[in-house]
Amino acid sequence: MLESATRLGPYEILSPLGAGGMGEVYRARDVRLGREVAVKLLPESLSGDEQALERFRREARAASALSHPGICTVHDVAEEAGRPFIVMELLEGHTLREILREGALPTEKLLDLAVQMADALNAASVKGIVHRDLKPGNVFVTTRGQAKLLDFGLATLDPAWAASESGASASPTEERLTSPGTALGTVAYMFAEAVTIFRNALRGDRDGVVIRVEGARRHQLPAPRPQRPGPAAAAWRAPPPAAPRPHRARVGAVRSEVSS
């Protein structure tokens, strides 16, 4: 852990905010602008891990590509003594996981957070970015009641889908943020399709909101999932389903059925 007054370029470390397997987060001061920020560093033990480094870079690229009140803003990305770090807006409040430990949420508050999360995920999907690791620990609720999505380290980017939605042409050099065919996420929060077909990733974010809302309503966090029968476990054994029809085609089919 870094000590207070440590300098990372123009950022002065003030105090630790938290630490996990993929990062250490500190309260810091940008001495140029005189504002406080949050600085996330890759743990020193992972500084030589290429996979961890790539995930860290992916988080910075995905989050910095988005501008939405429901997504934590990335201010800067830099490196100090071989350790990359991300500079983000400093949030005051608690994660949804911490809030749920205190008890069930009122229905009105629950629906408000659900709408905010869905709106943020929609903004990301317009850019072709799917979060893929939506869980209470990655949803921050500020003191003003604003829900903020955190940790885009497992996000995936579909440039062709994003281009089709925006009407722009897809760049052949656009990268995918995660390797095709790799099942990533937090198992307790994964939906079955996540382990069978990744072209359904957008549905994963959508269903993720439903799971989080239902959990908040019942004041339940998903229990750990050992190897036992269940949708995700069954999906590992089952052959992959056929690819779904494009979203626009499904909408057209529904409209035809309604009109007839």
Residues with catalytic roles: 133
* Both tokens assigned to 186: 């937090």
Q: Where are the beta strands (DSSP E) in the chain?
A: 7-8, 11-20, 23-30, 35-41, 74-80, 83-89, 93-95, 129-130, 139-142, 147-149, 156-157
* C-alpha closest to that of 81 among 42, 107, 112: 42
* C-alpha closest to that of 113 among 125, 102, 104, 124: 104
CB atoms within 10 A of CB 36: 15
